[in-house]
Amino acid sequence: MRLYPAIDIKDGKCVRLKKGLFNEVTVYSDKPYEIAESFERDGAQFIHTVDLDGALKGRGVNAETIKKIVNSVNIPVQMGGGVRTLDNIKEVLDLGVYRVIIGTKAVENPDFIKQAIEQFGPEHIVVGVDAKDGMVAIEGWEKVSDKTALSLALAMKDMGVQTIVYTDISKDGMLSGPNVEQTKLLSDKTGIDIIASGGMSCMDDLTHINDAGIHGAIIGKALYEKKIILKDAVKHFESGFSVLKSNSLEKANMSFNEFKLNEDGLIPVIVQDYVSNEVLMLAYMNEEAYTKTLETGVMTYYSRSRQELWVKGLTSGHYQYVSSLDIDCDKDTILARVRQVGAACHTGNRSCFYRNLKVWNR
């Protein structure tokens, strides 16, 4: 089971609400990025964030806070709140967020989800199904729609959605235990990854979610109130469920002169998304680029056309933050897993490999 420690943001601060009520606010920190760093130190492999102001106003409000969180950790971050347009999604992904959670728009215009998946890929689009008494709530949980949670989840599956965050609003922030029965129903009926949200209060709650075969659980108030110790929960529920498994070059203490270089004195670098392993691009490094990459944690290459050092994203803002580096058996190719901000390709496509040549159906 995957654990998702939560950071809810209001006015740039880390807060928790009771049952989604904006007048029932507890502030836990005015530096949410420090909370994110502590989650990573405790072994978290994914962080869940919500722009509460954005959810209420229908637009991103806490972008700078979200960006600071993303830049402070080396694990993927998902974010919901205020995402209503394709441009909103791009803006959030450009912050370095890995997955965008869409709630209200999925109810109002299901075809929007299909468009989002086609443009950004299913691994980057998550639908938030938030329910009161089984009926889906929208607009920061201020309104209740006429759709049931199950009907919306099934419709989203048909649109190509792979992951849903299901929140029982009556449980949120109450430390009263999650709605395991309804969450399991969604998981069993849709067959896709369902992340349970709302009410986690103790390790037993996580055990119930795990035993029900549910993909993941978001933990919020229970962490801040020390009802659940994240380090213990990760050790118990996420052993063997690692996003990144590699022997980095830095840890291996391998120097550049040990590599087998091409005739130009360069080594090719295959670049992959650090969660999905999608191949993003191919580039080259000389010794200076390799050394700078290790020192800064930002992918740096040697541009053969310009014959100069090239920090990926320096002009476009589409940086690549290193998660791991590996060398192949012949020591002549590096595999880099990165957190890609925005598009990897200069054409604006996420991957440089967007043109299909041939598919064999066997």
Do residues 338 and 271 lie in contact, with contact meaning Cβ atoms separated by under 8 Å? yes
Helix (H, G, I), strand (E, B) or coil at 271: strand
Residue 274 CB neighbour total at 10 angstroms? 24
What is the pTM for the complete model shown? 0.73
> What tokens appear for 338 in the block?
């990165």
| C-alpha radius of gyration, the chain, whole number | 21
What 3 state SS string does 114-176 have? Answer: HHHHHHHCHHHEEEEEEEECCEEEECCCCEEEEEEHHHHHHHHHHCCCCEEEEEECCCCCCCC
Residues identified as active-site: 8, 130
What angle, rounded to 10 degrees, do the helices at 110-120 and 149-158 form? 40
Walk along the chain (362 residues) and give the pLDDT tens digit of each residue. Answer: 899 999 999 999 999 887 667 777 889 999 999 999 999 999 998 999 999 998 887 777 899 999 999 999 988 999 999 899 999 999 999 999 999 999 888 888 999 999 999 999 898 999 999 888 778 887 655 677 778 999 999 999 999 999 999 988 877 656 778 899 999 999 999 999 999 998 899 999 999 999 999 999 999 999 999 999 999 999 998 754 434 334 444 444 688 999 999 999 999 999 999 888 899 999 999 999 999 999 888 999 999 999 999 999 888 888 898 888 999 999 999 999 998 887 899 998 889 999 989 888 76
- The angle that helices 32-41 and 63-72 make with each other, rounded to 10 degrees, is 30
